[in-house]
A = this chain, B = another copy of it.
Amino acid sequence: MEQSQPLAERIANQLRRHILLGSLAPGVSIKERDNAEELGVSRTPMREAIRILAKEGLVVLRPARSPIVAAPSLKEVSDDLEVMSALEVLSGRLACKNATPEDLAEIERLYQKMLDTARNGDSVDLFEVDMDFHRAIAAASHNKSLAETHSAYVARLWRTRYLSASIKSDRDRSLRQHGEIVRGLKARDARFVAKEIGSHIRHVVTNVADLFDEREA
């Protein structure tokens, strides 16, 4: 009953999917015993998996209480996006300095794939490519800590951004902005890239705020 990858991480991945896709709704409790039994594993790795997700901010631990799926408020999501924006801007700046031609080629490839998916694929596919695009920029910074921390925020904000991305209204603007970012990176114009990334995320914040407003109806 084991593999090359620790069981706890596989459980964490599984739980993460359930949370992000919504089959584990925000606010519901995750009982060690029940969930472990349900997946046919013992409490020990389940416990560790929960801790992993807690560090990522997807579940919150309460002393002497069941952990629950995080239900972030608009303020918390906005705060997360603000940090993530700073991380991405830094990524962009560093990428202008450190990106190899291969890095740039990969980023451009993802951008083309994005244009393609926008025309033919569904919104989930498009979203996946979008995430890959931003992750590729972080990787191109050649700063491992930055890429890791950025990745943690991507995970935490996955669900929110997924919902935000389903707002098709300004998909065109979004695509255009990504194009600008690619252009800036290739020209290694750090200031321009920083401006575009900042603007891009500000739009995401706006969309998310709208989503929260609608939810109250």
Q: Tell me the A residues contacting B by CB distance below 8 Å.
A: 4, 6, 44, 48, 51-52, 55, 57, 63, 76, 79-80, 82-83, 86-87, 89-90, 94, 143-146, 149
Contacts and interface: CB of A to CB of B under 8 A. Distances in A.
A76 B145 contact: yes
A143 B76 CA distance: 8
Question: In terms of DSSP, what is the predominant structure of the interface of chain A?
Answer: helix
Contact of A48 (B6, B48, B57, B94): B48
Number of copies: 2
A85 to B, nearest CB: 9
Please provide the 9 A-B residue pairs with the shortest distance between their CB atoms, ordered closest to farther: A79-B143, A86-B90, A79-B145, A80-B145, A83-B146, A55-B55, A83-B145, A86-B86, A82-B143
Contacts of A4: 63
Given A86-B86, A86-B87, 13 more contacts: A6-B63, A48-B48, A48-B51, A51-B51, A76-B144, A76-B145, A79-B143, A79-B144, A82-B90, A83-B87, A83-B143, A83-B145, A86-B89
Nearest to A47: B48
